[in-house]
Amino acid sequence: MLATKGAPEAVADLCHLNEAQQQRLQQQITAMAKRGLRVLGVARGRWTAPEGTEPNWPATQHDFEFTFLGLVALADPPRPEARAALAECRRAGVRVIMMTGDHADTARAIAEQVGLAANSAESPPTNKNDNVAEQAAVISGNDIAELDDASLSQRLSDVNTPINICARLRPEQKLRLVNILRAQGEVVAMTGDGVNDAPALKAADIGIAMGERGTDVAREAAAMVLLDDSFNHIVTAIRQGRRIYDNIRKATRFTFAVHMPVIALALVPMLLHWPALLLPVHIVLLELIINPACSIVFEAEPESEQLMDQPPRRSTDSPFNLRHLMSGMLQGLGVAAILLTTYGWMAAQAWDPAQSSSLIVLMLIISVYLLILANRDLHHTAILGLFSNNPWVLRMSGVIALLLLLFFGIPWLRHLLGLTLPGLAEMWVAGTVLLALGLWLEVMRWVNLKLLRSGTLR
């Protein structure tokens, strides 16, 4: 007794059906596949070895006589959250390609259900995202086999009819698609659960195996295993990765910005033969404020509303990109210029050097907090950062305010730091300097936001 099951076309070929039977069978397969069902063909047969001889098995499956029994349709409905997850991928500029061994009509029906392809029965698309789905193309494994790598690469990169459904694929074709996409410079994440997905999982930049129903081979070949087989978790990982990278960029820009005035206020007075502005104890004090700002405030920064609206960054991008760091250094140099100009004006007015130095140190400490506000969210005015959903922003302001009260309010500590209490005239100057610092940082925030939206800072 022989039994076989598999792709209906392959099983029908083993049964040597005539043309009329094949047409009738194809109509039934298409009707089921368009409902999103996975269709299998089932056949049986018999084989008897000649009496009195050793079994001489046929060379191929086609040499057996099979009788076609019928079709089995299986429903594997997508998860409810899949449609929203795919829409977020499209919004974030992440291209999703379905690679499956199922019938093309089954793949298209599932794609329509999750929003990967537009339903022809629906109304015309009304936005850009729907246009992408409407123009999607389907390619089969047989079509891929007829194309060389150059032609297949061109088909995959065609912006007019982008391929996002690949049906009736064999394992080696999945591997070939992954390699061609990587050769185009794409960062490829491959998901799968079966043995036939293992080569493509291994070749992808990020192989993601299903942990619940994935095979051992798939899990071993992958770089990441999902405990819950949900595509939504992959989108969540993308969002978290973007937030972490975005916060590292903010912290890096802040670090370079905040050290510019420290360096300038330490070196320029020495070069111009002015009285020293910053003592070693002042620099230590500033570092005690700067380091927690980087490790706590920016690390706890929640994702911005526009995070998933940005296109993916290039794989060669770095938080230490010179154009990105230059924006932070310009922030800090502007702060340094304002403080040095203020100090030079006070010296020209014959102010007491101790009073002038104390005022500059006070404004430098405040400018550290202003730089935190200016760099944590380029999409909103810095002052609005006080009321953000990052709890450490207000806590940091409380810490800085407490430190200033201690440094200027406790006589022996004030003497240790070489500070003096500011008078009414100093407070007026401090208010003017604070306004100038705020305006400068707001101008730089606006410029950085324009550069970010244009892609210059990415």
Q: What is the CATH number of the domain that holds 97?
A: 3.40.50.1000
Whether residue 332 sits in one domain with residue 227 = no
Mean pLDDT split into 10-residue runs, the chain, 458 residues: 90 89 92 91 86 75 89 90 90 92 89 76 42 64 92 86 87 95 93 92 94 90 90 91 91 92 91 85 85 83 84 84 86 94 89 88 91 82 71 86 88 87 88 92 85 68
CATH number at residue 11: 3.40.1110.10
Closest CA to 69 of 20, 5, 113: 5
Cβ distance 396 to 292 under 8 Å?
A: yes
Whether residue 249 sits in one domain with residue 221 = no
Whether residue 379 sits in one domain with residue 316 = yes
Six-digit token pair at 440? 């400068």
Whether residue 115 sits in one domain with residue 13 = no
Whether residue 130 sits in one domain with residue 22 = no
Q: Are strands 224-226 and 189-192 parallel, antiparallel or unpaired?
A: unpaired
**What's the confidence (pLDDT) of residue 162?**
77
| Three-class SS state of 95 | coil
Number of domains in the chain: 3
**What's the confidence (pLDDT) of residue 327?**
86
**What's the confidence (pLDDT) of residue 315?**
80
Per the listing, tokens 């491959």 go with: 190
**What's the confidence (pLDDT) of residue 242?**
92
- Per the structure, the complete domain to which residue 138 belongs is given by 82-235
Whether residue 385 sits in one domain with residue 250 = yes
User: What Å distances lie between residue 190 and 165, 204, 255, 331, 333, CA to CA?
Assistant: 14, 6, 37, 41, 45
Whether residue 399 sits in one domain with residue 417 = yes
Q: Are strands 137-140 and 189-192 parallel, antiparallel or unpaired?
A: unpaired
Whether residue 381 sits in one domain with residue 283 = yes
Q: What is the pLDDT of residues 376-422, one digit of tens each?
A: 877 777 676 666 778 888 888 888 889 889 888 889 988 888 888 88
DSSP 272: T
Distance (Å, whole) CA 39 – CA 138? 18
The last residue of a domain, from among 235, 261, 294: 235
**What's the confidence (pLDDT) of residue 134?**
47
Whether residue 118 sits in one domain with residue 42 = no
Distance (Å, whole) CA 257 – CA 253? 6
Whether residue 155 sits in one domain with residue 277 = no
Whether residue 326 sits in one domain with residue 385 = yes
Whether residue 183 sits in one domain with residue 122 = yes
